[in-house]
Structure 1
Amino acid sequence: MYTLLELYFIFCVKVLGTMSTEDKTVNNKSSWPVVDAVEFFPGVNEDLSLVSWAHAVNSVAKLKDALEDDKIMMLEADVSAGQLEGDEDGGKDDIIPIMAHPPHTRSDLSLAAWIKGIIEANKDGKKKGAKLDFKDLSIVKESLEMLYNQVDSINFPLWLNADILKGPVEAKDEPIDQEQFLTLCMQYFPQATLSVGWKTRFTSADDEKAEYTKGMAEEMAAVLEAANVTQPVTFPIRATFVSRSLEALEWLVDTVPDSTITIWSPVSEPFDPQAIIALQDSVGMDCVYLDLPEAERKAVDDARARETSSGAKGYRFIPPAATAMVASAGLALASALAALYLYE
């Protein structure tokens, strides 16, 4: 006959000892704190456009530059499945999470080294946040497991990004499986910011289909609701599509709790800076990040400065419903004036 103490010991060895790493992860990760960008970067003061970015930090040299640059707050990089340079004889067993943008499958920087660099920089008193753009679903779980092993040292903003839906303009590339990506992110890092967007394709600046439609926004909101997402969310939005998408984007951030927008753009792609300003004015400066190349960011800042100095709005968004009301009111007024003229 076993004593109660002996039975408890057997239970611990046979039951708790056989729990998988995933089970332990699920039970323990709730202690990881939410690290909000506004609180982490106190100079932001509710104006998310003040958060500065280093984009495509996919090499040792770029990581070093971004960590040493005190002006840079958030580091964005692409995570792919591949091999480290110099591992020419490696096989399938040597495929690891590396920092590279497709179609590249080799890099001089692994995800492990990348996150270690940011952790060490923060320990040294620098304030740096991390945004990881996952390009390959096959590497997401391994990447998150590796990151979780460092969870006690990740005391800075962590964003997990992937394109999970098809977007404008009739994008051809396949998005990452939405269900698997969201499930893994919530399992390992339920307090991290989810940066979830659309696969996009640029055609021309005057393409009437160059917009995030209300249907696309509704689909995204439905996906997040179905997955029971409760952590912070940001939507990466391509700058060139903003001018035709203002109503849908405003609806999206109003509908999804604790959500923001992150405006991004390739270098030299045409866009309307006034549309970005209109979006900021519509949803609030505390709701729009600007992750733009230097020239594109300057275009937005210059447009804002001109608007501020002149005291006039250069671009005012009027929803279709409001436009219809204005038109109806104008027609009614014109009819009344015509009737009065005929009466006289």
Structure 2
Amino acid sequence: MCAADRRSGRMDGRCVRRQGSVCAGRWRVCIVGTALVIATYQLTYHLLCCALPPGLTMDRSRGPWNENILDYFLSKDRIKARDGIEILWEHATNSKEKLQKALQSDVHMIEADILLRGTGDKEPIMAHPPATDSDINLQEWLDKVSMSNKGIKLDFKSMEAVLPSMKILDTMRDNLHQPVWINADILLGPGGTLRVDGTEFLQVVTSFFSDVTLSLGWTTAWHSDTPNEGYSWEMVREMENICKNLNQPVTFPVRAALVRQSWPQLQWLLQSSDRYSLTIWSGKDDIYPTEDLLYAREHSGKDRIFYDVFEPQNSELKQVVKQKQQDGQYY
């Protein structure tokens, strides 16, 4: 109320409007402030006690879990170049003895297979079918590897082992300071039969780890006495249709003996996203020329292909690449 009007007990139009504007402004501040307090309380309550509110996600990722293994091992001065050929692999480390040897060796990536022990509490153990038992379980295996600078690749042979294994990994978040790859064959490939259900596998893994590198492959077979078909366009397109909606790095394990005849399909898949890479692997009895590995290398980026193959192809490939580098023909 204006000073003159206080004395007379009257308010003119201007005073009424001025007082109304002030009151409205105070009410707006009050309402907004109250809304902010309520929203903050609700958000805090949901974060601490309940599921996250719709539209909000909590990134629980930390550390180098999704770091490119080439960057990781370069930072540790364990490789000389950002080149997949530099990475050494040890697979099927499914016993205490094999794991100890791997930890004492020069390998960079240690792979092991996971199943559920068939009796008792069915805890995750390190074993490859047809084996059903092991002298080391997943918790013990991770405890030992966590004290090293070796990368980890866990290969799941059954869907029932995935959830209990993810729970164990979840408790190890602060202890594992190296890259982790999670592998499963989720699609049928050339001659393949049984596989892990891809939809369920990805739902479980990504619900725990949104950034871990996924290694997603096809079940395959190889025969020495009959022609072997390669990865078809249908196979690679089905895989790309699954992976295009993911956010994390994906490597595709492909069988060395099937790479050359499948290269147009595999190259297309590799070029579909810069998140993708190939991991070429071989069975112990597979027969294929080293030139197949060299062909794949010469038609892709050297940092986009890894070679998890047996001798003599592994050494032969490195020797050829070294010679080409010295001659100035290659990279």
TM-score interval for Structure 1 and Structure 2 normalised by the shorter chain = 0.7 to 0.9
Specify which of 221, 225, 238 is matched with residue 201 of structure 1. 221
- Rounded Cα–Cα distance in structure 2 between residues aligned with 1:254 and 1:288: 12
1:187 aligns to what?
207
Cα distance in 1, alignment partners of residues 102 and 110 from structure 2: 7
Note the aligned Cα RMSD (angstroms).
Answer: 2.9
State how 1:68-107 maps to structure 2 within 5 Å.
68-69=104-105, 71-82=106-117, 90-91=119-120, 94-107=121-134
Asked if 1 retains the 8 angstrom alpha-carbon contact of 2:59 and 2:210, the reply is no
Q: Identity percentage over the alignment? A: 32
Contact 1:205–1:240 (CA under 8 A) maintained in structure 2: no
Aligned partner letter, 1:180: E
Q: Distance in 2 between the 1:158 and 1:38 partners?
A: 13
Q: How does 1:293-312 map to 2 (within 5 A)?
A: 293-304=310-321
Cα distance in 2, alignment partners of residues 11 and 218 from structure 1: 44
1:212 aligned to 2:247?
Answer: no
Partner of 2:4: none
- Alignment deviations for residues 287-308 of structure 1 (CA, whole Å, 9 cap, x no partner): 1101112333124334545766
Q: Distance in 1 between matches of 2:325 and 2:164?
A: 48
1:111 to 134, 138, 141: 138
* Residue 17 of structure 1, CA deviation: 6.1
| Equivalent in 36, 42, 48 of residue 68 of structure 2 | 36
The 5 Å alignment of 1:126-141 reads: 127-141=149-163
Task: Quote how far apart the aligned CAs of 1:28 are.
Answer: 4.8
Distance 1:129 1:17 in 2: 33
The aligned residue for residue 236 of structure 1 is 253
Change (3 A) 1:234 1:246: same
Task: Name the aligned partner's letter for residue 29 of structure 1.
Answer: R
Name the structure 1 match of 2:19: none
* Partner Cα distance (1:246, 1:14) in 2: 53
TM-score by length of 1: 0.75
Kept in 1: contact 2:224–2:286 (CA 8 A) = no
Q: What is the 5 A alignment of 1:46-85? A: 46-69=82-105, 71-82=106-117
Q: TM-score, normalised by structure 2?
A: 0.78
Letter matched to residue 141 of structure 1: L
Residue in structure 2 matching 1:19, options 47, 50, 58:
50
Q: Which residue of 2 aligns with 1:86?
A: none
Determine helix, strand or coil for the equivalent of 1:112: helix
* Cα distance in 2, alignment partners of residues 216 and 298 from structure 1: 31
